Amino acid sequence: MTGPRQPPQGDRDGRAEPPAPPSDLGTYLLGLSRAVTRSVEEDLAPHDLSMTDYAILGTCLERAEHTATELAALLPVDPSRISRMVSSLVDRGLLRRRRLRTDRRIIMLRLSDEGRELALLVRDRIREHDARLTGDVSEAEMEVFMSVARRIRANSASAQEPGPPAR
């Protein structure tokens, strides 16, 4: 038999501590992902953008031009889906295509003026959202979090690589 039930421990402000996170990484990350994406999706919805649409536009903000192949390598999206999404963004006037003069087979993608304006607007709203979520998280804590996340992604990537053939 155990002793009397202890009252919940409070944090430094005397508030009850939240329940412990799930013990498996996948469940914990799913909850974190939902917390982050919920408001971002609300910011994107009035512009009829998905998270991947915005990722394409945001990537094009960082560097003037990309090929669809480069976008597929930078974003966690398969190449055929990138092609469909790029076509949709071109049809909406948010991206423009340009063939290279030196090699007409290569098509470069860049933001249109409307696409740049929309990407900047949405990026600023997402940054405001991120600031609200991380307002009481120190810079050092964010650095540790990002470092751990990078290591987990690297471990996942190396686990996906084929090993030596079996003999």
C-alpha to C-alpha distance for 16 and 9, rounded to whole angstroms: 6
Beta bridge partners of 74: none
Averaged over 1-21, what is the pLDDT?
54
Averaged over 10-22, what is the pLDDT?
58
pLDDT digits (tens, 9 = 90+) for 109-149: 999 999 999 999 999 999 998 898 899 999 999 999 999 98
Averaged over 100-112, what is the pLDDT?
91
33: amino acid identity, one letter: S
Q: Roughly how many angstroms between the first and final C-alpha of the chain, as a whole number?
A: 56
Q: DSSP alpha helices (H): ranges in 64-167?
A: 68-74, 79-91, 113-133, 139-160
pLDDT at 7 over 50: no
pLDDT digits (tens, 9 = 90+) for 22-68: 578 888 888 888 888 888 898 899 999 999 999 999 999 988 899 99
The CA–CA distances, whole Å, from 100 to 62, 80, 82, 107, 131 equal 20, 21, 20, 6, 40
CB atoms under 10 Å from CB of 87, counted, come to 13
- 17, 8 Cβ separation under 8 angstroms: yes
Does the domain at 35-133 match CATH 1.10.10.10? Answer given as yes
pLDDT digits (tens, 9 = 90+) for 63-97: 889 999 899 888 888 888 998 999 999 999 999 99
30: amino acid identity, one letter: L
Quick one: pLDDT at residue 151?
93
